[in-house]
Structure 1
């Protein structure tokens, strides 16, 4: 059965898309730790990040780096943190989290944003990207 993230990639579930290539997809977390919290995923459905083949893993990290650089330009923060946890959805994914304090990295405080805020953030991050 397709994961939630595969359904997002396939357009069955809406998302606030930040970036897309033929192999990867980045979108805003709808329950963000901070404004701009972005998820980067391989389109290929693999449960655990370290089960990805080496070339896909490396390419996912490169894709995530490009998104993180754009994210830091688009959203004011001290830095962009990275987290790979993967317990909530059985599909490999990288969290890119704009950090203001260490609390943003702890997954204990969540931001509440309106749809138009999500749309504006996704668009702004995407405007700083140049990936194919």
Structure 2
């Protein structure tokens, strides 16, 4: 059975795509902790990050690094935080969160954005890749 993220990759569920390559997909989180909160995922369905083969793990981190650098150029923040929790969706995902305060990494602090805001931000991040 396809995960929510596989459905996003296939275009069955819409997303605010930032980037993709043959093995990975990055998109804005629709329930963001902070403006620019992005998810980086492998296209291959795998539940836990450490179940990825070592080369797959390293490729996901390289992909995430590229996205984080674009986020830093786009969203004003002290740094881009990274988290891998994976309890909400059984598909490996790396959270990249532009942060200015620790509360933005708690997953209890959320910000609201409109569809227009999401689209504009996705385009701005893409332009910094």
User: TM-score under structure 1 normalisation?
Assistant: 0.97
Q: Post-superposition, which runs of at least 4 consecutive aligned residues in structure 1 deviate over 3 A?
A: none
Whether 1:82 aligns to 2:82 is yes
RMSD between aligned alpha carbons? 0.4
SS at match of 1:40: strand
Shift of 1:109: 1.0
Residue 2 of structure 1 corresponds to 2
Query: How far apart, in 2, do the equivalents of 1:78 and 1:69 lie?
Result: 13
Query: How far apart, in 2, do the equivalents of 1:123 and 1:45 lie?
Result: 27
Residue 34 of structure 1 corresponds to 34
Whether 1:17 aligns to 2:39 is no
Query: How far apart, in 2, do the equivalents of 1:118 and 1:92 lie?
Result: 23
User: TM-score under structure 2 normalisation?
Assistant: 0.99
Shift of 1:100: 1.1
Query: How far apart, in 2, do the equivalents of 1:39 and 1:52 lie?
Result: 17
Query: How far apart, in 2, do the equivalents of 1:93 and 1:124 lie?
Result: 22
Aligned residues: 129
Query: How far apart, in 1, do the equivalents of 2:54 and 2:3 lie?
Result: 22
Query: How far apart, in 1, do the equivalents of 2:128 and 2:113 lie?
Result: 21
Residue 62 of structure 2 corresponds to 62
Query: How far apart, in 2, do the equivalents of 1:55 and 1:109 lie?
Result: 33
Alignment deviations for residues 53-83 of structure 1 (CA, whole Å, 9 cap, x no partner) = 1111000000000000000100011100000
Unaligned runs of 5+ in 2: none
